[in-house]
Amino acid sequence: MVQSDKKRRSTRSSKMVSSPVVMTRMQAIMQKEMVREFLAEFMSTYVMMVFGLGSVAHMVLGGKFGSFLGVNLGFGFGVTMGVHMAGNISGAHMNAALTFTNCALGRMSWKKFPVYILGQFLGSFLAAATIYCLFYSAIIEFSGGRLTVTGPIATASIFATYLPDHSTLWRGFLDEVLVTGMLQLCLFAITDKENNPALQGTQALVIGILVVVIGVSLGMNTGYAMNPSRDLPPRFFTYIAGWGIQVFRFYLFVRDSARKQGERQAEEEADSLLSKEPDVGLDPRTLGS
């Protein structure tokens, strides 16, 4: 009995000693600059994407509950909240293109590039999973249980951007180059202390308004993704969740399917015309009409 009591006391004391040690180690890890920047990009991107994708889900699934303006406001103010969360820690990039530009211009070290990208991609992927879980029943009801990329019951556009029928892949590429360039140029203007930057404390709101303005003015053609961290992780999620490989090759898939369908219909019509026998009951006066 005495020995068992001693063993219990020793295990309790060891647990009490080990827990402060673990907490100290965790605090030391959290104080590392790289870790804090990773978490900042992760959380800010997650918040931005939850608000943004949620607004898209309302537009696609909710009918009167959503609109294109609502999507612009959702992403715009989602960016504002993200900047408030991580602006003084990592700069709240929330955008792989923005991170690449800052590294290329020497504003930050290239060794931070994979850290930022990983945080952004994980946050965006988790946000897509969150929206999928929240709107799962609405997605299934709207689509009849069929997870499709195109068509009247398509739901993949909740998570990623897709080209409309009137656009081409090349035009979409040029559109994204222009829109992303406009975003980067205006961000530099907002934060340039040597020129006329936004007032201290208003940068987050001004950046959010910038995203809204870009959306309402240039967002029709491609959905103004402007951001690999916004588009790629949710696209990977839809691939895993059941939408299939078409989320990556839908453009070529749809065009090829349309071409094949047209050829098939033309062949069927030609066969029906060639195999049709003349009707002896026709009035000869109508043959020339």
* DSSP result, 182-202: HHHHHHHHHH-TTS-PPPTT-
Per-residue confidence (pLDDT) for residue 263, from 0 to 100: 41
Tell whether the model's pLDDT for residue 70 goes beyond 90: yes
- In three-state form (DSSP H/G/I as H, E/B as E, the rest C), the secondary structure along 129-145 is HHHHHHCHHHHHHHHCC
**pLDDT band, residue 18 (cuts 50/70/90):** low
In tens, the pLDDT along 22-41 reads: 667 666 665 678 999 999 99
Cβ atoms of 149 and 162 closer than 8 Å: yes
Q: What is the dihedral of CA 120, 122, 128, 129, to 10 degrees?
A: -160
Cβ atoms of 184 and 98 closer than 8 Å: yes
Per-residue confidence (pLDDT) for residue 160, from 0 to 100: 93
Give domain limits for the chain.
33-245
Cα(252)–Cα(165) distance, integer angstroms: 12
pLDDT (average), residues 123-138: 97
Mean per-residue pLDDT over the chain, rounded: 82
Cα(10)–Cα(95) distance, integer angstroms: 51
Kindly report which listed range (10-24, 38-52, 62-76, 270-284) carries the lowest average pLDDT score.
270-284
Cβ atoms of 44 and 82 closer than 8 Å: yes
Per-residue confidence (pLDDT) for residue 255, from 0 to 100: 37
Cα(44)–Cα(229) distance, integer angstroms: 12
More confident residue, 203 or 8: 203
pTM (two decimals): 0.78
- 33-245 has which fold? Glycerol uptake facilitator protein (1.20.1080)
Tell whether the model's pLDDT for residue 78 goes beyond 90: yes
Per-residue confidence (pLDDT) for residue 53, from 0 to 100: 97
> In the Cβ-directed half-sphere of 142, how many Cα atoms lie within 13 Å?
21
More confident residue, 118 or 285: 118
